């Protein structure tokens, strides 16, 4: 008989596999491209097979194998339908990467371990497939640098954190002002000012960040282009070393490098991707769209604690402000569970506890300052 700890592990593994299978099945149904849909379907079938292993282990120990889904599954399925596969795929790829070795080191799960590592590579390749590739070398570069996309290209994570910034900062601002005993009109004015100021600050910060990143990237690309123009032999040697490091023989690496050098644009694309880790077609993204998105996400979070003061006042407004903020914190916590590896209930509860503790602290500070000033 398995121990209680082993049984908990069996249930956790079963839940993970059922979650992954359900998500891949949803992706398969929603995906418009037939070949990608078939890949998702194959991944779902593989995850279903893994789930059967853990279900059988539970039954062998006289335990019922649960078959339902958790809130995280339904949330991710809704996002797939609402936003499309390409938006949520980076988050799924990040989760697959984090779990790729969860069955490693156990002879009984060696086959599943191989499957999980293959799933991580396949999903990340599909997450990156929307990015333009100018050559075979660029494809190789993209494949080798996929882990950069997991950490930096996660739109879902950025969206959730942006909304959380707006929510928590304005919630705390309102509680601080309310703690000082300020009237409803002053609180509302402060809340709206905090929303606008915070959103503008976030937008400007994002604009500067993306603009500076683009300018630096463009300078690096120009330098690489200049080297390619004036020192082609040196750049061809660098390409040879790149492909040799990838496992090609010296002769094969030289042949591939020479072939790529016949097209300077293709050579520049490969060198920029390999040496600089940049996508020449993106170079950090559009600063204006990044600023607009940051503004909207911050404002979307900040509006929740502000709304009650538009139609009520006093204690009623404060109570409603806390209620709206708690609901928003719960939603954000559930969203964070999509990429932090924790359950939706745990993530939501943690978000609420931390948010309320921070708001209570600022309320206390505001009250103390209000008493001192008066």
pLDDT tens-digit series, residues 54-86: 999 888 988 888 777 778 888 889 989 988 888
pLDDT at 140: 35
Residue ending a domain, choose from 96, 131, 166: 131
Do both 13 and 119 map to the same domain?
yes
Same domain, 85 and 215: no
DSSP 232-292: HHHHHHHHHHHHHHTT--HHHHHHHHHHHHTSHHHHHHHHIIIII---TTTTT--HHHHHH
The CA distance from 135 to 357, in Å, is 53
Per-residue pLDDT band at 317 (split at 50, 70, 90): very high
Instruction: State the pLDDT at residue 305.
Output: 96
Is the per-residue pLDDT at 137 higher than 60?
Answer: no
Selection from 222, 250, 225, 221 nearest residue 237 by Cα: 250
User: Is 140 part of any domain?
Assistant: no
At residue 186, the 3 state secondary structure works out as helix
121 and 248 part of one domain: no
Q: Is residue 24 part of a domain?
A: yes
Domain end point (choices 97, 131, 165) = 131
The stretch 126-146 carries a mean pLDDT of 44
Residue 143: inside a domain: no
Report how many domains make up the chain: 2
**pLDDT band per the 50, 70, 90 thresholds, residue 155:** low
Residues 230 and 268 placed together within one structural domain of the fold: yes
Hey, which bits of 113-207 come out as E strands? none
| CATH number, residue 26 | 1.20.1260
Is 165 in the same domain as 72? Answer: no
User: Does a structural domain hold residue 316?
Assistant: yes
Task: Report if residue 145 sits inside a domain.
Answer: no
Which DSSP string corresponds to 81-135?
Answer: HHH-HHHHHHHHHHHHHHTTTTTTT-GGGHHHHHHHHHHHHHHHHHHHTTS---S
Whether pLDDT at 99 is above 50: yes
Q: Which residue has the tokens 């750049």?
A: 235
Per the model's pLDDT, the better-predicted residue between 44 and 339 turns out to be 44
User: Do 359 and 245 sit in the same domain of this protein?
Assistant: yes
Ramachandran class of 90: left when φ > 0, alpha when ψ lies in -120 to 50, beta otherwise: alpha
Give the per-residue pLDDT at 283: 66
Burial code (b: 16+ CB inside 10 Å, e: under 16) for 8-47 equals: eebbebbbbbbbbbbbbbbbbebbeeeebbebbbebbebb
Q: For residue 124, how many other CB atoms are within 10 A of its CB? A: 23
Same domain, yes or no, for 297 and 345? yes
Percentage of residues of the chain with pLDDT beyond 70: 89
Same structural domain for residues 122 and 166? no
Q: Which of 27, 162, 31, 161 is nearest to 96 (CA)?
A: 27
Is a pLDDT exceeding 90 seen at residue 374? no
Residue 102, pLDDT > 50, answer: yes
112 with 166, same domain: the answer is: no
Q: Are residues 286 and 364 in the same domain?
A: yes
Is the pLDDT reported for residue 184 higher than 80? yes
Judge if pTM exceeds 0.75: no
Please check whether residue 261 lies inside any domain of the structure. yes
Q: What does the radius of gyration of the chain's CA atoms come to, in whole angstroms?
A: 26
Q: Residue 134: is its pLDDT beyond 50? A: no
| In a shared domain, residues 205 and 111 | no
pLDDT band, very low/low/confident/very high, at 263 (cuts 50, 70, 90)? confident
* The predicted structure's pLDDT at residue 366: 92
Q: Is residue 251 part of a domain?
A: yes
- What is the mean predicted confidence (pLDDT) over 261-286? 74
Q: What is the mean pLDDT of the chain?
A: 83
Q: What is the pLDDT of residues 6-38, one digit of tens each?
A: 888 888 888 889 999 999 999 999 999 888 899
pLDDT at 334 over 60: yes
Please give the Cα distance from 359 to 353 (Å, whole number).
10
Domain residues for 198? 154-373
What's the CA gap between 189 and 123, in Å, rounded? 47
pLDDT tens-place string over residues 277-310? 666 666 667 888 889 989 999 999 999 999 999 9
If asked whether residues 228 and 267 sit together in one domain, one would say: yes
Note the pLDDT of residue 143.
36
């Amino acid at each position: 008989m398995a121990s209680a700890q082993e049984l908990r592990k069996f249930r956790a593994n079963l839940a993970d596999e059922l979650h992954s299978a359900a998500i891949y099945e949803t992706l398969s149904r929603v995906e418009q491209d037939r070949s990608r849909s078939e890949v998702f379907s194959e991944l779902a079938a593989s995850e279903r097979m893994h789930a059967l292993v853990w279900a059988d282990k539970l039954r062998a120990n006289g335990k019922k194998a649960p078959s339902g889904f958790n809130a995280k599954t339904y949330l991710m399925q809704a996002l797939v339908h609402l936003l499309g596969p390409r938006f949520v795929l980076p988050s799924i790829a990040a989760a697959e990467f984090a779990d790729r070795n969860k069955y490693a080191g156990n002879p009984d799960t060696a086959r599943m371990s191989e499957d999980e590592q293959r799933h991580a590579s396949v999903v990340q390749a599909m997450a990156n497939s929307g990015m333009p590739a100018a050559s075979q070398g660029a494809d190789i570069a993209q494949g080798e640098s996929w882990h950069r996309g997991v950490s930096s290209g996660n739109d879902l994570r950025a969206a959730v954190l942006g909304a959380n910034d707006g929510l928590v900062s304005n919630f705390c601002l309102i509680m601080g002002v309310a703690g000082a005993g300020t009237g409803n009109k002053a609180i509302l004015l402060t809340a709206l000012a905090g929303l606008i100021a915070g959103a503008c600050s976030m937008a400007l910060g994002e604009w500067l960040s993306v603009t500076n990143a683009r300018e630096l990237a463009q300078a690096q690309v120009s330098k690489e282009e200049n080297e390619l123009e004036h020192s082609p032999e040196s750049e061809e040697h660098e390409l040879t070393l790149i492909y040799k490091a990838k496992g090609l023989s010296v002769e094969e690496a030289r042949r591939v490098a020479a072939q790529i050098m016949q097209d300077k644009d293709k050579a520049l694309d490969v060198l920029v991707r390999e040496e600089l880790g940049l996508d020449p077609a993106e170079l950090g993204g559009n600063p204006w769209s990044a600023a607009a998105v940051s503004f909207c996400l911050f404002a979307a979070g900040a509006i929740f604690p502000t709304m009650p003061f538009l139609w009520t006042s006093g204690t009623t407004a404060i109570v409603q402000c806390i209620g709206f903020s708690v609901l928003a914190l719960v939603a954000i916590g559930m969203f964070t569970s999509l990429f932090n590896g924790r359950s939706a209930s745990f993530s939501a509860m943690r978000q609420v506890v931390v948010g309320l503790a921070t708001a209570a602290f600022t309320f206390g500070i505001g009250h103390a300052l209000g008493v001192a000033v008066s």
